[in-house]
Amino acid sequence: MDLVTEVRRGNLRAIARTISLIEDLEPEAEGLVDALYPYTGRSRILGVTGSPGAGKSSLVDRLITLERQRGRKVAVIAVDPSSPFSGGAILGDRLRMQTHATDPGVFIRSMASRGFLGGIAAATGDVIKVLDAAGYQSIFIETIGVGQTEIKIVELSDIVLLVLMPGAGDEIQAMKAGVMEIGDIFVINKKDLPGADKLLAEVEYVLSFKNSVQTAGREAEYPEGYNPILMTSAVHEDGIEQLREAIECYAGQIESSGKLAEKRRLRLERELLGILNRKVHELMDVHIEVSKQLPGWAERLYRRDALPYTLINEQIRDFLKERTGD
């Protein structure tokens, strides 16, 4: 089948197969992504992150329902870490979204981090393009926000939802400053648990160095440039409509102010840089087989038989000589 045509037609199998080719780093993937690229740019990309157990999947599940009620097609990419020991993974996020499994307007894909060189962010970025070209108007990327890799994933989004829950103790500290920095909308889920108000106060304090305001009104009214904070309970379906409105409102604001365009341009810069770095590395790898050589180099350095920069510069010089000699 002609994958590009089929993806654009919304053929689920084609979309899924194309995503697999990207994940598996198959050579055809590049061509497919480029062929689909002209048809991208219409989706809104929402990153959803936060500590495990905060209820991200349940929240996304409810948001999907609201989006579907408005006739919008929704896609979800749920990212989970691979086991560092076996390389395998258990991908269970979609369990909380399975009521949408048979809805033709919803596409859910679970992705494992797989220890990609350069992080899974690159693959996820390409997967987003496929779903964009396939016509999914809202694309959620869901990931646990506890490290640098996850921050990279979340940087792929137009709007980042940071989901917290009460009772997790010193969670704000545990969240690296970087994660709090990139959050656009802050959601305190499981608001019925004790400690919700305390958490709200903590979040407001941390955000007091930015501008933020708690909003839970019927209309998401808050000044431009402010980060909304919402209290929800996904399980009780409480506050979800307000969250959706806050997202709409925020999205409208960053669109009209030009901030979204700026963000997307920056993202494309990062993406191109990523591709460049990867390609150069791949190119050198063909000639030098970096991963095979690395232990040997490290051994020489360890014995003080070599000098770090000199060693690498030599390798690069030899590589360039070989290349120009072609």
Burial of 276 (0-12, 13-18, 19+ CB in 10 A): exposed
Matching residue, tokens 């396939």: 134
Is 295 a residue that touches other proteins (CB under 8 A)? no
Q: Please report whether residue 98 would count as binding other proteins according to CB under 8 A.
A: yes
For the bound state, the minimum distance from the C-beta of residue 104 to other proteins, rounded and expressed in Å, comes to 8
**Does residue number 19 form part of the binding site for other proteins (CB under 8 A)?**
yes
Q: Does 249 bind other proteins (CB under 8 A)?
A: no
Part in contact with other proteins (CB under 8 A); list of ranges 8-16, 63-71, 141-149, 263-271 = 8-16
Instruction: Report the alpha-carbon distance of residue 99 to residue 64 in Å, rounded.
Output: 10
Q: How far apart are CA 159 and CA 182, in angstroms?
A: 9
- Smallest gap from Cβ 19 to other proteins, in A, equals 7
CB of 16 to other proteins, least distance (A): 4
Q: Pick one of 34, 41, 42, 95: the residue that binds other proteins (CB under 8 A).
A: 95
Distance CA 325, CA 246 (A): 59
Residue holding tokens 């690296």? 176
In the list 3, 4, 7, 23, the residue contacting other proteins (rule: CB under 8 A) is 23
Taking the complex as a whole, the smallest distance from the CB of residue 109 to other proteins amounts, in Å, to: 6
Spell out, one character per residue from 105 to 124, where the chain touches other proteins: x when CB under 8 A holds, - when not: --xxxx-x-xxx--------
What is the per-residue DSSP string for 3-37? HHHHHHHT-HHHHHHHHHHHHTT-THHHHHHHHHG
Q: How far is the CB of 300 from other proteins (least distance, A)?
A: 25
Among 41, 42, 99, 256, which residue interacts with other proteins (rule: CB under 8 A)?
99
Report how many residues bind other proteins under the rule CB under 8 A: 41
Select the span of 66-74, 96-104, 175-183, 220-228 touching other proteins (CB under 8 A).
Answer: 96-104
Q: How far is the CB of 177 from other proteins (least distance, A)?
A: 27
Q: Is 101 in the site for other proteins (CB under 8 A)?
A: yes
Query: What's the start-to-end Cα distance of the chain, in Å?
Result: 38
CA distance 231 to 208: 18
Closest CA to 308 of 325, 321, 294: 294
110 DSSP β-pair partners = 78
| Cα separation values, 265 from 33, 42, 119, 156, 178, Å | 18, 15, 20, 11, 20
Two structure tokens written together for 87 = 């390389």
Residue whose CB is less far from other proteins, 111 or 220? 111
CB of 106 to other proteins, least distance (A): 9
- CA–CA distance, 52 with 258 (Å, rounded to integer): 33
Partners of 144 in the beta sheet? 50
Binding site for other proteins (CB under 8 A): 12-13, 15-17, 19-20, 23-25, 53, 58, 82-83, 85-96, 98-99, 101-102, 107-110, 112, 114-116, 193-194, 235
